[in-house]
Amino acid sequence: MTGPSIGVLSLQGDVREHARVLEALGAEVSLVRRPTEIAGLDGLVLPGGESGVMDRLARSFGLQEPLREAIASGLPVLGTCAGLILLADRILDGTPGQQTLGGLDVTVRRNAFGSQGESFEADLTVPSLQGPAVHAAFIRAPLIEEVGPGARVVAALPDGRVVAARQGHLLGLAFHPESTGETRFHELFLQTARED
């Protein structure tokens, strides 16, 4: 039996890292660069990278509307770091004219923790995951400033700032699980992709 068919948006960012984790978990992974490559997917990953660049490239490659439609139609999506920004309904401190794909009822602040040099790692308690604390890497990370009534908090920093949220088939993380050997979020995402 083959695993779920998962696309990784491959415009820019940490595409290979996500593909490796997903393949190790049994998914059939394809790279998404064109609108025609969305059809037939069981799920999609929006990776970390530079959200402003990813937004511009998605629009110039004709991907923005097909991605919005797929998300609105119930395609399971995992967004990490810049991918969380793309998935959010609202963005603060975006680049001029920056747009999101939307779907996740949250407001995110881009580069909320500062520059690359202010990147950090932290252990997070995630009640919905079994096992030890999640060791999370925050690299020029966004922050979820507001969680609307449609979404729910999945994880927060010890000081209460929200760094992960879920809404139905959508999961947005401000950090990079693919870079710390943390696979439980990908497993949760694949479970959603198999169920849909």
**143 forms bridges with which residues in the sheet?**
109
pLDDT at 36 over 80: yes
Q: What is the dihedral of CA 69, 83, 17, 49, to 10 degrees?
A: 120
Catalytic residue among 81, 169, 182, 186: 81
**Annotated catalytic residue 176:** yes
Q: How far apart are CA 92 and CA 34, in angstroms?
A: 28
**Annotated catalytic residue 178:** yes
Q: How far apart are CA 9 and CA 46, in angstroms?
A: 5
Catalytic residue among 18, 50, 169, 178: 178
Catalytic residue among 18, 169, 176, 186: 176
Q: What is the DSSP string of 139-176?
A: SS--EEEEE-TT-EEEEE-TTS-EEEEEETTEEEESS-
What is the per-residue pLDDT across 4-29, written as a single tens digit (0 to 9) for each?
999 999 999 999 999 999 999 999 99
Candidates 3.60.9.10, 3.40.50.10090, 2.60.40.2220, 3.40.50.880; CATH matching 5-195: 3.40.50.880
**Annotated catalytic residue 18:** no
Domain locations in the chain as residue ranges: 5-195
| pTM, 2 dp | 0.96
What is the per-residue pLDDT across 105-161, written as a single tens digit (0 to 9) for each?
999 999 898 777 778 999 999 999 989 999 999 988 999 999 999 999 999 999 999
